[in-house]
């Protein structure tokens, strides 16, 4: 086992005590990553259904215990209110809101055209129940099934999704997405032009707005954001893309205009948030759309990514037995919208069972700004360590640690380069995120990289992360923060063979 993970030849040249640390570290690492035979239960029971486990299993109990809360349909929950508001901007669309979160690898990745080496498939990013079964990483996992059902031109689908991801105020390992799609059946028109005319007519009926929109890029771009030349004419892709953008801009405008009105009426408008709403379109990449974009909203002095979208990949529609349909799809983070809408400052709050949180939301009343009920101090602690010498690389996802809102690759974006998803890196930032969450639960507010240094002579790499502890409910004592942090450092040594500096 030791030889398996400590591949370096110089292992025996190390001092005895370090060998011992590394030995147990490597052993434990195998346990963490694959739950070796001794610790992996033979089966996992999720929502009353038993699933056999194997060497791919990596779902911790802390995630399973949160499974099935269905906050997006809980009456008066801010996520449910947000879902209903978004749905109301897509009249005539059929809403699917109760699909179970355990899906196959085929549904989550293959059916969407994820390449075999797409980093989103790796166990560092995704929670596997076993090699063929996982907790969906995005609502796109159901696209092909719903397109195949072919019951309406437009549909939305809201659900809980699961990702091994960064820890900060806008990322949580379970969050909620709404998928939406609209397609036109080209075979039901007399000519391609008649279909184009229908899309144009529909576009013209979409409400206009006076939102400030930055959209500097062309409708598609040969290298960066290609047209699906084999299947779509330039006119079709351009029009479908314009319809998509206008529909989503309308959704954002309507939701925030309503919120603004309510806040101003109740005297709750906050100084500094009175800047006019601003959105921008950014070119993106998803295996299941092309061209693709992300919408970002200006919020509290920064651009916050709220959704990904694009013109649906035609081979996907062909796999769903809908070769004649053309259209758009989007996936939006409901937490991100709810945070903007209610002024909720921290994503952990959505999981709170504290009445001081829950009683502030009522779906039959106008939107009210969330009133923080506590401001407990944050307790930052640093963990600085040397990575073990290993032939394998360490993956430090710059996007998540730098505090931006960019998500992991598990939704399709290529935020990491393609790699052999079956082999595991020496260290992945998400491993530290999970250790911190497992030990500190919701009292860990933020984990971010503050230093990355490679020794010029030894070429050893050292990383330093700052972990911020803060309870939403009470002030933490120094002793309990120290105890949690010591455990985090201890687990890093044990599981990854790092050397604390």
* Alpha-carbon torsion, ordered 366, 369, 445, 99, to 10 deg: 10
What tokens appear for 241 in the block? 């893309």
The count of other CB atoms within 10 Å of the CB of residue 323 is 14
Residues in the chain, total: 501
Q: Binding segment for ligand FA5 among 14-22, 87-95, 236-244, 284-292 (CB under 6 A)?
A: 284-292
* Nearest CB to ligand FA5, comparing residues 312 and 396: 312
Chain center to CA of 314:
24
One-character DSSP codes across 21-58: HHHHHHHHHHHHHH--TTTS-SEEEETTEEEE--TT--
Could you tell which of ligand FA5, Mg ion, none binds residue 412, using a CB distance below 5 to 8 A set by kind? Answer: ligand FA5
Rounded to the nearest whole angstrom, what is the least distance from the CB of residue 447 to ligand FA5 in the complex?
13
Mask: binding to ligand FA5, 293-312, rule CB under 6 A, as x and -? ------------xxxxxx--
Find the binding residues for ligand FA5 in span 61-120 (CB under 6 A): none
Q: How far apart are CA 340 and CA 236, in angstroms?
A: 33
As a whole number of angstroms, the distance between CA 495 and CA 308 comes to: 35
Identify which range of 102-110, 269-277, 285-293, 488-496 contacts ligand FA5 by CB under 6 A. Answer: 285-293
Q: Report d(CA 184, CA 393) in Å as an integer.
A: 46
User: Quick check: 310 and 284 in contact, CB under 8 A?
Assistant: yes
The least CB distance from residue 140 to Mg ion, in Å, is 12
Shortest Å distance, C-beta 109 to Mg ion: 16
Q: Say which DSSP state 159 is in.
A: E
Instruction: Name which of ligand FA5, Mg ion, none residue 306 binds, using a CB cut-off of 5 to 8 Å depending on partner kind.
Output: ligand FA5
Closer of 89 and 171 to Mg ion (Cβ): 171
Which residue, 102 or 337, has its beta carbon nearer to ligand FA5?
337
Give the residue, chosen from 241, 291, 308, 497, that forms a contact with Mg ion under the rule CB under 5 A. Answer: 308
Tokens of 1: 């086992």
CA–CA separation, 422 and 117 (whole Å): 9
With CB under 5 to 8 Å by kind, the binding choice for 310 among ligand FA5, Mg ion, none is ligand FA5
| Coil vs helix vs strand at 423 | coil
* Footprint (CB under 6 A) of ligand FA5, residues 315-344: 329-331, 333, 335-336
Cα gap 478→470, rounded to integer Å? 11
Q: Which does 333 bind (CB under 5 to 8 A by kind): Mg ion, ligand FA5, none?
A: ligand FA5
Touching Mg ion, residues 150-179 (CB under 5 A): none
Could you tell me if 158 and 177 are in contact, meaning their C-beta atoms sit under 8 angstroms apart?
A: yes
Give yes or no for a contact between 392 and 423, defined as CB atoms under 8 angstroms apart: yes
- Check binding of 141 to ligand FA5 (CB under 6 A): no
Residue 219, interface with ligand FA5 (CB under 6 A)?
no
* Phi, psi angle pair for 223, to nearest 5°: -95, -45
Residue 172 CA, distance from chain mean position? 8
Strand partners, 303: 298
Q: What is the DSSP letter of 168?
A: B
**Least gap, CB of 248 to Mg ion (angstroms):** 14
Task: Output the six-digit token pair for 260.
Answer: 């603004």
Q: Which of 96, 123, 136, 171 binds ligand FA5 (CB under 6 A)?
A: 171
**DSSP β-bridge partners for residue 162:** 174
Q: Which does 331 bind (CB under 5 to 8 A by kind): ligand FA5, Mg ion, none?
A: ligand FA5
Query: Using CB under 6 A, which of 29, 138, 164, 325 touches ligand FA5?
Result: 138
| Partner from Mg ion, ligand FA5, none binding residue 236, C-beta < 5-8 Å depending on class | none
How big is the site for ligand FA5, counted in residues (CB under 6 A)?
A: 29
Within residues 390-409, the interface with Mg ion by CB under 5 A covers: 407
Lay out the site mask for ligand FA5 across 394-433 (x = CB under 6 A, - = otherwise).
-------------x---xxx--------------------
Contact string 344-363 vs Mg ion (x = CB under 5 A): --------------------
Nearer CB in complex with Mg ion: 80/430: 430
Provide φ and ψ at 296, rounded to 5°.
Answer: -120, 145
Rounded CA-CA distance 55/37 in Å is: 8
Interface with Mg ion (CB under 5 A): 308, 407
Interface with ligand FA5 (CB under 6 A): 138, 140, 163, 165, 171-172, 175, 177, 179, 286, 288-289, 292, 305-310, 329-331, 333, 335-336, 407, 411-413
């Amino acid at each position: 086992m030791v030889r398996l993970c400590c591949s370096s030849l110089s292992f025996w040249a190390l001092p005895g005590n370090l060998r011992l640390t590394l030995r147990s570290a490597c052993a434990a690492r195998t346990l963490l990553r694959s739950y070796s035979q001794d610790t992996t239960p033979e089966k996992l029971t999720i929502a009353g259904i038993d699933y056999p486990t194997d060497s791919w299993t990596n779902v911790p109990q802390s995630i399973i215990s949160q499974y099935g809360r269905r906050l997006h349909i809980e009456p008066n929950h801010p996520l449910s209110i947000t879902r209903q508001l978004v749905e109301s901007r897509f009249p005539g669309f059929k809403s699917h809101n109760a699909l179970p979160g355990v899906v196959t690898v085929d549904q989550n990745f293959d059916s969407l055209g994820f390449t075999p080496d797409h980093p989103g498939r790796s166990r560092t990013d995704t929670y596997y129940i076993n090699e063929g079964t996982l907790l969906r990483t995005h609502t796109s996992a159901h696209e092909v099934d719903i397109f195949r059902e072919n019951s309406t031109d437009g549909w939305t689908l809201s659900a809980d999704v699961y990702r091994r991801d960064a820890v900060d105020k806008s990322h949580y390992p379970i969050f909620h997405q709404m998928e939406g799609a609209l397609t036109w059946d080209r075979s039901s028109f007399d000519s391609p032009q008649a279909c184009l005319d229908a899309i144009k007519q529909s576009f013209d009926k979409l409400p206009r707005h006076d939102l400030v929109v930055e959209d500097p890029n062309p409708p598609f771009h040969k290298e960066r954001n290609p047209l699906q030349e084999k299947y779509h004419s330039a006119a079709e892709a351009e029009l479908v893309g314009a319809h998509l953008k206008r529909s989503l801009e309308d959704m954002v405008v309507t939701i925030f205009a309503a919120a603004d009105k309510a806040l101003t009426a109740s005297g709750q408008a906050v100084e500094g948030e009175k800047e006019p709403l601003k959105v921008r379109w950014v070119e993106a990449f998803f295996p299941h759309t092309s061209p693709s974009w992300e919408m970002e909203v200006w919020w509290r002095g920064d651009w916050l990514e709220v959704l990904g979208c694009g013109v649906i990949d035609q081979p996907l529609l062909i796999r769903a037995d809908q070769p004649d349909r053309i259209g758009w799809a989007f996936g939006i983070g409901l937490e991100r919208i709810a945070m903007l809408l209610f002024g909720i400052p921290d994503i952990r709050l959505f999981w709170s069972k504290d009445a001081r949180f829950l009683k502030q939301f009522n779906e039959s009343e106008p939107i009210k700004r969330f009133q923080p009920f506590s401001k407990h101090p944050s307790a930052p602690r640093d963990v600085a360590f040397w990575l073990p010498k290993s032939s394998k690389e360490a993956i430090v996802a710059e996007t998540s640690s730098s505090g931006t809102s960019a998500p992991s690759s598990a939704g399709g974006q290529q935020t990491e380069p393609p790699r052999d998803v079956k082999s595991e890196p020496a260290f992945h930032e998400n491993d530290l995120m999970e250790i911190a969450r497992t030990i500190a639960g919701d009292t860990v507010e933020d984990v971010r990289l503050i230093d990355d240094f490679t020794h010029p002579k030894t070429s050893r790499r050292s990383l330093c992360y700052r972990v911020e502890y803060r309870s939403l409910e009470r002030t933490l004592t120094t002793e309990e923060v120290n105890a949690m942090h010591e455990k985090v450092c201890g687990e890093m040594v044990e599981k990854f063979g790092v050397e604390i500096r």
